[in-house]
Structure 1
Amino acid sequence: MRLVSLNTWKAEGDHPRRLRAMAVGLQAMAPHVVALQEDLRTADGQIHTAQTLAHALGLPLHALPARAKRRRVGKVWVDSTAGLAVLSRRPVREQRALVLPQDPRDGERLAQCLRLEGEQEDWWLVNLHLSHLPDRADLRRAQLGVVLEALDRWAGAAPVVLCGDFNAAPQDLEIAGCVHPRGPLVDVFGGRTKCTHRTPEGAARDLDHIFLRMPAAAPAVAVHAATVVLDRADAHGVLPSDHFGVCADLSL
């Protein structure tokens, strides 16, 4: 199974051209599951990033709207949401929205949790976008803690994949205590240094991840490949997003 996670950057930059670049890049990878963060959907329904990508890839869409506010789209201000979405070739048996701890400066934060059909047994996918506030490492740690506690209740020994924009690197305080070769979270990149975002000053940051939750009784999950994707401009010089995607080929 090929899984791709990407922060789509709402309507920033040249959104129509970026959206085309996203669609072309994803089509070339032929993923089975795509997890999207900052999925822009305007209130009038005229623009919906995840819906456009779902149509381009021929994949069913499972959207979780969040963070409603007025945003500038092109030259106009519109009511919109920037939530979470999953496109999945695998049948989705159940979807849950988990409310995460929040800071008023940051607004609503949710975790999109889906139980998907597997070849032999069901597995869970958690799509995350943790707080971006630079002074709230403690909040990101609390948000991740709420997710892990919920999975202990819901998932039992079922395989779980957590992915998205964590706004922190694996060695940072908010993640480091949870990621280890023996769990509770295992990095599909095996601790390799990667870049998924560049600051306006050009500094490389490692913010987007795919982790496996591996309780002792869980079936083995094989990681065949893990790569950074959608990190190059198209023929017109357009990058799909201000974040690069992360991709993993897994056997669940």
Structure 2
Amino acid sequence: MLVACALAILPARAAEPQAPGMSMVTFNLHHDREDWPQRRQVILRELEALQPDAIALQEVIQKPYVRNQAAWLAGKLGYDYQFVSTDPPGRFKRYGNALLTRRPVLARGEHLLAPRTDYRTVAHLRIDVDGQPVNVYATHLNERSDENGGRIRGEQVADLLQYIAATSGDAPVVIAGDFNALVDAGDLSALRQRYGDSYGSVHVNNQLAQVSTLNRHYYEAPSRIDHIFFQQDQLVAREARLLFDQPYAEGRWASDHYGVWARLQFAP
């Protein structure tokens, strides 16, 4: 009893406050394949638990009997969203990328990446993170694995960087999406010269070549092609991990990609 009393009067250790910053998720939704009504509930539960400041989504679809996937998730989460598609508004089927945020939106935009014949887009939101404006961009680059695909991705990266330079101002930049390329690929070199790889920065001593964001249930070779890049002079990557990398039921997965979550801290 005396020991219990002595322990009882010890002050509780306060949790260490996290430095100011933001969290970001990128995830390829695999549009509405493989029982979307069930998959979306699994995705929603994970995002509700994480409450990320911003979410980049790729392969977002809307069509008859399928409400816009980004709009559905945003509505359930209580988030604002920006959906970007080359399909005109009012068309029976639209397909593209989206950004979701729980933060106030200061500005928004969209851009069709060069070459225009590839129908690739970028979505942009400038959000207020506790008084600090941050630019977040979401994109999905060309999927071809041959030399021509690399050339197209290089052109898309150059156009993406020009769009960011024209729209970001002085606020920090975060770029997330499915780049269809390894982080050290030549077609992403111009991007890597200016922005850091959040997952690679956090897990620098791990065997990154064995990490995959392509779901190994669907794809044989590991390939980390979904990335969250950050502006290194204004942000620091503190945590990063994969999401949806386990089946939620026998043979059922949230997507054919895993998601990526990262926590970024404002640089001193």
Question: TM-score, length-normalised on structure 2?
Answer: 0.79
Does residue 206 in structure 1 map to residue 224 in structure 2? yes
Query: Match for residue 35 of structure 1?
Result: 56
Aligned-residue CA RMSD in angstroms? 2.2
Does residue 148 in structure 1 map to residue 168 in structure 2? no
SS of 1:226 mapped into structure 2? strand
| Gap change, CA 1:201 and 1:10, over 3 Å in 2 | closer
Find the partner of 2:145 among 125, 128, 134: 134
Query: Match for residue 175 of structure 2?
Result: 162
Please, which runs of 5 or more residues in structure 1 have no aligned partner?
69-77
Bigger radius of gyration = 2
Q: CA deviation at 1:146?
A: 0.9
Determine which structure has the larger strand proportion and give its number.
1
**How many Å separate the matches in 2 of 1:66 and 1:17?**
28
Query: Match for residue 114 of structure 1?
Result: 125
Does residue 195 in structure 1 map to residue 216 in structure 2? no
Structure 1 runs, 4 residues or longer, greater than 4 Å off: none
- The answer as to whether partners of 1:226 and 1:247 remain within 8 angstroms in 2 is yes
Q: CA deviation at 1:20?
A: 1.8
Instruction: Give the aligned residue type for 1:208.
Output: D
- The answer as to whether partners of 2:157 and 2:190 remain within 8 angstroms in 1 is no
Query: Match for residue 171 of structure 1?
Result: 184
- The answer as to whether partners of 1:67 and 1:109 remain within 8 angstroms in 2 is no
- The answer as to whether partners of 2:215 and 2:258 remain within 8 angstroms in 1 is no
Q: CA deviation at 1:25?
A: 2.0
Does residue 123 in structure 1 map to residue 140 in structure 2? no
- The answer as to whether partners of 1:21 and 1:238 remain within 8 angstroms in 2 is no
Instruction: Give the aligned residue type for 2:27.
Output: L
Q: CA deviation at 1:55?
A: 2.4
Please, which runs of 5 or more residues in structure 2 have no aligned partner?
1-21
Query: Match for residue 186 of structure 1?
Result: 196
Instruction: Give the aligned residue type for 1:84.
Output: N
- The answer as to whether partners of 2:81 and 2:98 remain within 8 angstroms in 1 is yes
Q: Percent identity?
A: 27
Q: CA deviation at 1:86?
A: 1.5
| Gap change, CA 1:31 and 1:3, over 3 Å in 2 | same
| Gap change, CA 1:63 and 1:201, over 3 Å in 2 | closer
Q: CA deviation at 1:114?
A: 1.4
- The answer as to whether partners of 1:166 and 1:209 remain within 8 angstroms in 2 is yes
| Gap change, CA 1:213 and 1:67, over 3 Å in 2 | farther
Q: CA deviation at 1:46?
A: 4.2
Q: Deviations for 1:146-193, whole angstroms, at most 9, x for unmatched residues?
A: 1112222322432000000000011111113432xxx41111121552
Query: Match for residue 242 of structure 1?
Result: 256
SS of 2:119 mapped into structure 1? coil
| Gap change, CA 1:12 and 1:45, over 3 Å in 2 | closer
Query: Match for residue 57 of structure 1?
Result: 77
- The answer as to whether partners of 1:66 and 1:84 remain within 8 angstroms in 2 is no
Query: Match for residue 71 of structure 1?
Result: none
Q: CA deviation at 1:4?
A: 0.7
**How many Å separate the matches in 1 of 2:255 and 2:92?**
21
Q: CA deviation at 1:236?
A: 5.0
**How many Å separate the matches in 1 of 2:219 and 2:164?**
38
- The answer as to whether partners of 1:59 and 1:88 remain within 8 angstroms in 2 is yes
- The answer as to whether partners of 1:61 and 1:88 remain within 8 angstroms in 2 is yes
The size of the alignment, in residue pairs, is 233
